[in-house]
Amino acid sequence: MRVEFAQAIIRVFEKHSNIVFLTGDLGFMALENVQQRLGEQFINAGIAEQNMITMAASLASEQFIPFVYSISPFVTLRPYEQIRNDVCLHKLPVKIVGNGGGYGYGIMGSTHHNIEDIGVMRILPSMRVYVPVTSQDVFDAVEQIVVDENPNYLRLNTAASIDSAGVFAAWRKFKSGSKLILISVGPVVGNLYSLPAEILDQIEIWSVGILPIFELPSELIIRIETVKNVITFEEHTGECGLKETIAFHILKNINESVNYNSIYAKGYPSGKYGSQLFHQKESNLAGEGLLVEIINALSRK
């Protein structure tokens, strides 16, 4: 998604000339066009992420729209105190962009992975987290973020190809199904489309695009009350992710018994590192493990 993100920045700069782009000394073969187009408003802050966030907060206080870009854990976890104190407590519209959310950096290992980012960012004051699924979502999300007066975190990952995705939004229904309601976040939902057709046809798929989640769509509540079988699906830890968030809203809104299960990133079960797909398979987010999880979920009554 980083190529689409770079294109989106250039596009929105045509309308918002007060954008400033800060990067933590990366973006080779991806950000050169951004640098050329923004000129002096492109800043390589070096490997100093805490300073970069504080710089962005200062720029935002002077009516600029700063985008801060780096590898996901470097731009969220390393400068977390500065994000909380300098950005969020002042409700400044700093746009934090993390590339490679989840297991996106594959064999680079756990230092470059971020399976906690959605949780740690969405609990910050005034922060809104944007999680695109498709390449087109990146363009739509950046268009929304640039006019959002809140602090934002944009989580980039490997895009999924879903024909029915529609326009990026807080909630989208990708497809209907009668046996299982699946609620997902991020491009990992694309793995479901490799399931056998007779399995996929039974699943109703919803996608969350913006967090925190303050309420469930009325249509989704009705569908959960009807189907009574729900599973969440995320390339993120269950803790502080969809697993806990959707459970809260079901308890709050639905008085009937509902079968509830979750498929989420479980860290490193084998103690080994591999590709993004390798880690997804270890957590049953892809491959044979995913098929077994879905079959088991469909069999619950």
Q: Tell me the pLDDT tens digit for each residue of 87-143.
A: 999 999 999 999 999 999 999 999 999 999 999 999 999 999 999 999 999 999 999
The rounded distance, in Å, linking the Cα atoms of 241 and 263 is 11
- For the chain, the straight-line distance linking the first and the last C-alpha, in angstroms and rounded, comes to 39
| pLDDT tens-digit readout, 243-254 | 999 999 999 999
The answer to whether residue 81 sits within a structural domain is yes
| Parent domain of 79 | 2-155
pLDDT of 146 strictly over 80: yes
pLDDT at 182: 98
Q: What CATH number is given to the structural domain containing 77?
A: 3.40.50.970
Task: Examine residue 161 and state whether it is found in any structural domain, yes or no.
Answer: no
- 204 contacts 174 by C-beta, under 8 angstroms: no
Average pLDDT over residues 40-48: 93
For residue 93, whether the previous peptide bond is cis, meaning omega lies within 30 degrees of 0, is no
Residue 189 included in any domain = yes
Residue with tokens 């009574």: 228
**209 and 80 within one domain:** no
162 assigned to some structural domain: no
What is the secondary structure of 165-221 as a DSSP string? --S--SEEEEE--SSEEEEEESGGGGGGGGS-HHHHTTEEEEEE-EES-----HHHH
Same domain, 43 and 113: yes
Residues 227 and 151 in one domain: no
pLDDT at 27 over 70: no
Provide, rounded to the nearest whole percent, the portion of the chain with pLDDT above 90. 92
Beta strands 229-234; 259-264: pairing state: parallel
Residue 163 within any structural domain of the chain: no
| CA 186 from centroid of its chain's CA atoms | 5
Could you tell me if 74 and 35 lie in one domain? Answer: yes
Q: Do residues 132 and 188 share a domain?
A: no
Choose the final residue of a domain: 129, 155, 181.
Answer: 155
Strand boundaries in the chain, DSSP class E: 19-23, 42-44, 65-71, 95-99, 128-130, 152-155, 171-175, 180-185, 203-208, 210-211, 229-234, 259-264
Note whether 13 and 143 are same-domain residues: yes
Residue ending a domain, among 155, 181, 211, is: 155
Based on the fold, state whether residues 31 and 147 are members of the same structural domain.
yes
Same domain, 247 and 142: no
C-alpha–C-alpha distance, residues 149 and 140, integer Å: 16
Is 251 inside any structural domain? Answer: yes
Q: How far apart are CA 235 and CA 241, in angstroms?
A: 9
- Shared domain for 211 and 262, answered yes or no, is yes
pLDDT of residue 256: 86
At 98 the pLDDT is 96
Torsions phi, psi for 185 (to 5 deg): -140, 130
Q: What is the mean pLDDT of residues 7-22?
A: 95
CATH number of the domain to which 266 belongs = 3.40.50.920
* CA distance linking residue 290 with residue 298, whole number of Å: 12
- Can you tell me the distance from the alpha carbon of 153 to that of 210, in angstroms, rounded to the nearest whole number? 10
Tally of domains in the chain: 2
Write down the pTM of the prediction: 0.96
Is there a single domain that holds both residue 190 and residue 253? yes
Confidence of residue 26 (pLDDT cuts 50, 70, 90): confident
Residue 194, domain member (yes or no): yes
| 218 in the same domain as 131 | no
pLDDT digits (tens, 9 = 90+) for 176-229: 999 999 999 999 999 999 999 999 999 999 999 999 999 999 999 999 999 999
- Is residue 215 in some structural domain? yes
The span from the CA of 60 to the CA of 67, in Å, is 10
Both 68 and 207 in one domain: the answer is no
